Structure 1
Amino acid sequence: MIETDKAITDLAVSAPTPVVSVQPVILPAPGRGDDLQVRVSAPATGSDLPIIVFSHGFGSSMNGYAPLADHWAAQGFVVLQPTHLDSRTLGLPPEDPRTPQIWRIRIEDLKRVLDRLDILEASAPGLGGRLDRGRIAVAGHSWGAQSASALLGARVLDADGVPGEDMSDPRVKAGVLLALTGLGDDLTPFAAGHFPFMKPFFDNMTTPALIVAGDHDQSALSTRGPDWFTDPYVYSPGSKSLLTLFGAEHSLGGIPGYEAAETTDEDPARVALIQRLTSAFLRSALYSEDAGWKTAATALEEDPSPLGKLQSK
């Protein structure tokens, strides 16, 4: 265990810096029914800061996923976290007429964040003029990963199996997709009947991305086993990496929050590995000269007691 801890420590991108966080920042959203609330977290120092737009899982909010948001901001990223309409903090009733379209509104939320970087930049003291708008990534967990994947080029198949609207965004240069569900052919009858948007088409998801899956993530929505969550890697083209975490369930060790109730596989070491590998991947994806991802991948490969394995294509 000592050697494993050392290997994880070696994956650190850089020493953490103090973080400034502001919430809620309100973005006007005509037609949405509720204005969009966003949390902005940024390093207190530095310039030309890259951006991560993060989409939370079902029921969470801009205040979730602190283990990731805090780490990324301390590593030099500006992290923008919108609260989607499915958040428990909003209490939207199931019969709300917007409910069937929340999956699409989620994607629009992420694009709205990118459209209004001026408001978000001005909201945090001292952040003005420090964003690098040419280096933007998206990330998400579970339903949030599906939302983020649309900006990377994934589509949703319609009832006839035809790929739907292209909602990709050229401003996004890389992504991290955590516990993203697989192909719709493997949905349970309940899921197929209630969640028609869970029929992804990955053939056009060409933007570089890191997919993270747990090898013990058994979804009640799928007739397959944990390998279902590797489909986004298997079926998408272009530069992709897959991190398969040993023993990890859907919360991947606890990324939804510190001591979060939905975490069934709490493992601080696993979360630390995700923190460092995602930071290294995004920095190298956004900065071609950065060798941190290669170093991190080598360290994991050489770890005598690894917490997971990496594949790349």
Structure 2
Amino acid sequence: MRVSRPAVAGLLSVGLFTGLVTGCGTAPDRAPVFDAPASVEPTPTPGRPAPTERLDVDTRTLDLARGDRPLPVSVWYPVDSDGPFPVVLFSHGLGGEPADYRAVLTEWAAAGFVVAAPTYPFTSEGSGGNALDVLNQPADASYVLDELLALDELDGDEFAGRLDVERVAAAGHSAGGITTVGMFTVARDERLDAGVVLAGSAIGVGTAFSGAAAPQLFIHGELDEVVSYASGKAAYDRVPWPKAMLSLPDGDHGQSLLRPGNAAYDIVLDTSTEFLRWTLYGDPGARDRLAADVPAGVAVFDDQL
């Protein structure tokens, strides 16, 4: 979803996506969706301290492809700092691209994370926006993680020894939020320790959360006219693990969530960053700051972590 365009609601039609999904017997390259119990384990174990100062950030592009599916990856990462750094896989929305989210992704990297954002072949800007192909994207995202994490052991690569391959999260906005949910349901990637779902839902990927417990943070505007707040809340309600939902009473689908210069942006950025610090670094101070960073009257934080 390109959050920078005024016609944001026209880029992702939930009705169209729902029709495409329900019009097919099964999702491409996916097993049938069903609900199954998920194991519940303790919350994140303590790790090394998260950086306390903002780190300098650089970018890199990885030229990847999964078969005939090109997947160029934009990576934001800390420079001139000791690692290893936890990894966050970020998925863009329908008709979007990673650069649309550079403000948030840069700040996550500056907080001590390597953030990798693939450009999906059939849902990105200029691709035609095939909503049904979202169902193939969890597998794309896992492939990107395969290739990225392998660089930690590649002699001579700038990421060698700098990636914490044992601490990995997935995040995404809109259709990318659906992709993220899919990585915990129909295409469970067991490497994932946490998820951040921005204005997303479980449309097409179901709520069969499985595997080891992975805390989830849902963020959704209550005035979202593209992916309804109710559909996001329904997915959140089915998460069987530690979870939290940041609800923005005046928030829309993307403009107020992800663009600097509005009241919601700082709340979304601060809450998501502290959540990642807690889940991937095991920083108990970040856990304590989650609720404290949510101002009354602007957002509501349902804390089940």
% identity of equivalent residues: 26
Q: Secondary structure of the equivalent of 1:67? A: helix
**Are 2:107 and 1:84 aligned?**
no
Contact 2:122 2:128 in 1 (8 A): no
Report the equivalent of 2:172. Answer: 140
**Are 2:198 and 1:178 aligned?**
yes
**Are 2:207 and 1:201 aligned?**
yes
Deviations 1:79-105 (CA, angstroms, capped at 9, x unpaired): 00000123444x3357xxxx5751232
Contact 2:88 2:171 in 1 (8 A): yes
Report the equivalent of 1:283. Answer: 277
**Are 2:239 and 1:236 aligned?**
yes
Contact 2:174 2:200 in 1 (8 A): yes
**Are 2:230 and 1:227 aligned?**
yes
Aligned residues: 252
Deviations 1:41-88 (CA, angstroms, capped at 9, x unpaired): 101122120000000000112322112111101111000000012344
Question: Once the 2 structures are TM-superposed, how far is the Cα of residue 289 of structure 1 from its aligned partner?
Answer: 4.3
Contact 1:54 1:82 in 2 (8 A): yes
**Are 2:53 and 1:15 aligned?**
yes
**Are 2:157 and 1:117 aligned?**
no
Q: 1:268 to 1:93 in 2, by over 3 A?
A: closer
Gap runs ≥5 in structure 1: 1-11, 155-165, 185-196, 259-266
Q: 1:140 to 1:124 in 2, by over 3 A?
A: farther
Q: Secondary structure of the equivalent of 1:238? A: coil
Gap runs ≥5 in structure 2: 1-49
| Higher RCO, Cα 8 Å, sep 6+ | 2
Question: Once the 2 structures are TM-superposed, how far is the Cα of residue 247 of structure 1 from its aligned partner?
Answer: 0.3
- Structure 2 Cα separation of the partners of residues 237 and 230 of structure 1: 13
Report the equivalent of 2:218. Answer: 211
Letter in 1 for 2:299: G
The alignment's TM-score, normalised by the length of structure 1, stands at: 0.72
Q: 1:63 to 1:237 in 2, by over 3 A?
A: same
The structure 2 residue matched to 1:150, chosen from 155, 172, 182, is 182
The alignment's TM-score, normalised by the length of structure 2, stands at: 0.74
Q: 1:26 to 1:123 in 2, by over 3 A?
A: farther
Report the equivalent of 2:300. Answer: 309
The structure 2 residue matched to 1:127, chosen from 139, 159, 184, is 159
Residues 46-85 of structure 1 aligned to structure 2 (within 5 Å): 46-85=82-121
Q: Secondary structure of the equivalent of 1:38? A: strand
Q: 1:238 to 1:88 in 2, by over 3 A?
A: closer
